[in-house]
Chains A and B, each alone.
Chain A
């Protein structure tokens, strides 16, 4: 069944189709409609889940971890300051190995207050061990929630499904909502190896000294590494059942491209159109969209960029004191690779500023005309 949905409601439908059993959330613009619709679904009886109202995002994720620890499939969603308040509990969800799925609507961090998109909120959680997937369309948002449970429950790590504020969250697009029985076929019930159960008593998260802490960290990294394959498998299987697949990265007209643009989120669509415009002028340009950010798709990035003469990375974020985060990640993936094209790092679209085809053309032009790669270029800065 096709419905015209806003990105936020695509997240809600993804959670409903995944038959989540517990939802714990606190409202924040631009996330609010995600949990509003889920609470309506619970109240109407369309979704058989416990909706837990909490007093903060920290509690939202804490409640989610508790629910996941007893073996319930659990969902929460937030944005910006809310995600920052969850930070401690994100570490906990990872260490406790509770596969909570968290919808994060990218919203710029305050101050100054902003409700518009950029990626600094989610990328600040880069090193916690939560998986991160950046979506480009409302269809992808809904489908990614379902895939996220598939992978998260397999490797026992939480997963963040990320979408741009307003460009997706409040934008309506047609979304194909699959039949429940097909989703049930794809996603079996959650059954973790250890759970909080009075009939089978275990202690969780207790004091662990230096004798075993190191090994537990290794286990998290091993799970992340397994997730690399699991994302490909989950996406492939999804494609067979539902006819849609997204890849961990997606390349567009990269095969013979001299310059490849690296993108994430909704900027990707604009970049594709820009590439078509530039191709019609005879310029060989392509787009590599990074969808799964954690675990980082090192092999795919190396493979897709190996033919490029130059790479231009667009970051809707900045790691202050260094560079754009995707730029850093792409560079670090390539450093030990045999083919290392020069890379330009462009900061754009912070705080929801529009990134238009003209913005991207300016990046391509700058990349084309220079022979010395630049780490940090601010595009469209008012002087």
Chain B
């Protein structure tokens, strides 16, 4: 994994000139403000890949057999996957923190 190290600076003198992450997006997780959490009902899911295609982030990963898995480190909870799923296998639930 490239740049897989979290670097924290103290202030203006040791930080980079521009808004640049010193690590890759694998470290900079971006889902902290999700309000709704998509949950896949694997009893209904017949892995067709439509949710994976529509996810704008992309935060749906496919296992080798095509089963979708939601990556909650990056999913913003937009609900497009739930809207597009032809078998209504994805439902949105209030995020509890």
Chain B positions within 8 Å of A222 at CB level: 12
Closest beta carbon of chain A to B34's beta carbon, Å? 14
Instruction: Assess the A219–B12 pair: CB atoms within 8 A.
Output: yes
A200 within 8 A of B: yes
Q: How far is the CA of A247 from the CA of B44 in the complex (A)?
A: 74
A43 within 8 A of B: no
A335 within 8 A of B: no
Q: How many B residues touch A, CB cutoff 8 Å? A: 17
Chain A positions within 8 Å of B17 at CB level: 97, 156, 193, 219, 223
Instruction: Assess the B16–A193 pair: CB atoms within 8 A.
Output: yes
A-B contact count (CB 8 A): 58
Q: How far is the CA of A212 from the CA of B19 in the complex (A)?
A: 9
Q: How far is the CA of A253 from the CA of B17 in the complex (A)?
A: 41
Give the segment of B22-30, B54-62, B64-72, B85-93 that binds chain A: B22-30
Interface residues of A in 87-129 (CB under 8 A from B): 95-97
Give the segment of A143-151, A171-179, A203-211 that binds chain B: A203-211
Dominant SS among interface residues on chain A: loop
Q: How far is the CA of A181 from the CA of B42 in the complex (A)?
A: 67
- Give the 4 A-B CB pairs with smallest separation, nearest first: A97-B18, A201-B24, A203-B21, A201-B2
Starting from the known contacts A95-B19, A202-B23, 14 additional A-B residue pairs (CB-CB under 8 Å) come to A96-B18, A96-B19, A193-B16, A200-B2, A201-B3, A201-B24, A202-B3, A203-B21, A204-B20, A206-B21, A206-B30, A215-B12, A216-B19, A219-B15
Tell me the A residues contacting B by CB distance below 8 Å. Answer: 95-97, 156, 193-194, 199-208, 212, 215-216, 218-219, 222-223
